[in-house]
């Protein structure tokens, strides 16, 4: 088949599933990072610090496995940068959603640890949260959240931004902007090379759950949960203060030029949301402090023409009923620990559900067991459409040590039992 025809076939398959329609078969959507490096003979350090090797490894995996979509993430959570710069410098912030290894070298941020620097050269990088904002600083944050990020938070997070206005500070921002351009160029090159071998691409916007922003980047998870008990009204004020900005991050980053949509042949623009605090919160806390602001952000980004692409990390069992309030057929969600059959039982066809073999199965099992596991999942989930196979749900993507023969067994099961 001609590569452009193949790309269009995969694109239509994904578009129909994402919008809760029946495609010709269940699509396979893959996130990965170090797996592509190991499969291609590179260390983690090489994948994260050498853009050419990152591209080569991704293309190698894309050519050797019959996926419908592949995204190789070579960075860690960086919403603290993206949110700080998106309004005033969207063209630069667009390439700062994730902290890359080179960004870490430039900023010397306190959150991330990298192979070949703080870690051994062939291990996955780490994001380590910490308290950045003191409890008594809530009022200052509420008064002007983005000003607080620039004047207080970023100088504490990044060693080389510690003195705003200094020569070191200005030089660091200049170097960061130049590296963001390099990363953006490498990313575009990879997207176009994937396009040339038959892979579709969806433009991606970014937003965040307001309470997660406080927990991940300012107060740390344990502290923000304590704050909900000790000073709930202040936390609620901080949530309200940052919610409008989380809407802006989505709508600004989701403003995709018509020529870009035309180039990729789609009107769908993902808006990426990783959810982190959900399994730490009892339903009464979740329903009062987490869900209302997130739902507001969801609805506003949907109104702007975006499709929330949500990673429901952890267990979401206690909160499934809240998903009944999302606009129908307007969201796609990957569930890490919640059985997708239970999700479907509770919310029906309200959203596109993404799920697949966990890495524990892809690493430690046999091709026969992976094939059977995948077949059983498809039998239970594929009816009426709106289902996407997403392997490696327990790590938001395929892990480094997943066995290639198990991945191929999974693909074989989809090709046999995933057809409509």
Question: pTM higher than 0.95 for the full model?
Answer: yes
Residue 147: count of CB within 10 angstroms of its CB: 12
Are residues 190 and 56 in contact, defined by beta-carbon separation less than 8 angstroms?
A: no
What pLDDT is attached to residue 338?
97
76: tokens are 């860690």
What pLDDT is attached to residue 73?
87
Termini Cα distance of the chain: 21
> Which H or E run contains 12?
helix 3-18
Of the CA atoms within 13 Å of residue 132, those in its CB half-sphere come to 26
What pLDDT is attached to residue 26?
98
71: tokens are 């995204």
Bridge partners of 311, per DSSP, are 274, 334
- What's the DSSP call for residue 328? T
Ordered alpha helix ranges (H), 152-290: 154-157, 167-196, 210-217, 221-230, 232-253, 258-264, 283-285
Q: In whole angstroms, give the CA distance from residue 105 to residue 107.
A: 6
List, for residues 14-40, the tens digit of each pLDDT value. Answer: 999 999 999 999 999 999 999 999 999
382: tokens are 């594929």
Angle among Cα 323, 327, 330 to the nearest 5 degrees reads 100
What pLDDT is attached to residue 1?
74
What pLDDT is attached to residue 149?
97
pLDDT per residue rounded down to tens, the chain (420 residues): 799 999 999 999 999 999 999 999 999 999 999 999 999 999 999 999 999 999 999 999 999 999 999 999 889 999 999 999 999 999 889 999 999 999 999 999 999 999 999 999 999 999 998 999 999 999 999 999 999 999 999 999 999 999 999 999 999 999 999 999 999 999 999 999 999 999 999 999 999 999 999 999 999 999 999 999 999 999 999 999 999 999 999 999 999 999 999 999 999 999 999 999 999 999 999 999 999 999 999 999 999 999 999 999 999 999 999 999 999 999 999 999 999 999 999 999 999 999 999 999 999 999 999 999 999 999 999 999 999 999 999 989 999 999 999 999 999 999 999 999
Bridge partners of 76, per DSSP, are 99
What pLDDT is attached to residue 92?
87
Q: In whole angstroms, give the CA distance from residue 79 to residue 81.
A: 5
């Amino acid at each position: 088949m001609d590569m452009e025809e193949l790309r269009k076939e995969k694109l239509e398959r994904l578009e129909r599933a994402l919008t809760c329609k029946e495609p010709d078969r269940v699509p396979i959507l893959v996130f990965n990072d170090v797996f592509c490096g190991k499969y291609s003979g590179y260390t983690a350090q090489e994948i994260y610090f050498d853009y050419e090797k990152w591209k080569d490894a991704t293309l190698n995996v894309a050519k050797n496995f019959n996926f419908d979509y592949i995204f190789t993430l070579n960075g860690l959570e960086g919403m603290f940068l993206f949110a700080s710069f998106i309004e005033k410098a969207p063209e630069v912030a667009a390439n700062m959603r994730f902290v890359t290894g080179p960004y870490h070298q430039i900023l010397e941020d306190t959150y991330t640890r990298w192979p070949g620097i703080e870690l051994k050269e062939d291990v996955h990088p780490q994001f380590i949260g910490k308290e950045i904002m003191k409890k008594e600083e809530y009022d200052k944050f509420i008064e002007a959240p983005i000003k607080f990020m620039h004047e207080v938070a970023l100088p504490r997070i990044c060693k080389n931004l510690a003195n705003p206005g200094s020569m070191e500070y200005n030089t660091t921002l200049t170097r960061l902007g130049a590296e963001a351009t390099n990363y953006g160029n490498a990313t575009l090159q990879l997207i176009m090379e994937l396009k040339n071998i038959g892979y579709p691409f969806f433009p991606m916007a970014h937003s965040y759950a307001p309470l997660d922003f406080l927990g991940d980047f300012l107060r740390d998870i344990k502290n923000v949960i304590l704050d909900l008990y000790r000073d709930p009204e202040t936390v609620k004020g901080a949530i309200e203060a940052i919610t409008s900005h989380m809407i802006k991050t989505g709508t600004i980053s989701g403003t995709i030029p018509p020529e870009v949509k035309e180039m990729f042949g789609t009107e769908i623009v993902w808006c990426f949301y990783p959810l982190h605090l959900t399994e730490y919160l009892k339903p009464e806390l979740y329903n009062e402090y987490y869900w209302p602001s997130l739902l507001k952000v969801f609805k506003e980004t949907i109104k702007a023409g975006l499709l929330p692409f949500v990673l429901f990390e952890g267990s979401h069992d206690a909160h499934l009923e809240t998903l009944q309030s999302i606009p129908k057929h307007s969201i796609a969600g990957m569930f890490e620990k919640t059985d997708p059959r239970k999700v479907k039982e509770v919310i029906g066809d309200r959203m596109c559900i993404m799920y697949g073999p966990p890495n524990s199965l892809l690493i430690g099992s046999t091709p026969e067991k992976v094939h059977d596991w995948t077949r059983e999942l498809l039998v239970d989930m594929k009816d009426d459409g709106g289902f996407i196979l997403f392997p490696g749900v327990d790590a938001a993507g395929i892990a480094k040590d997943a066995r290639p023969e198990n991945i191929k067994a999974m693909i074989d099961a989809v090709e046999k039992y995933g057809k409509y």
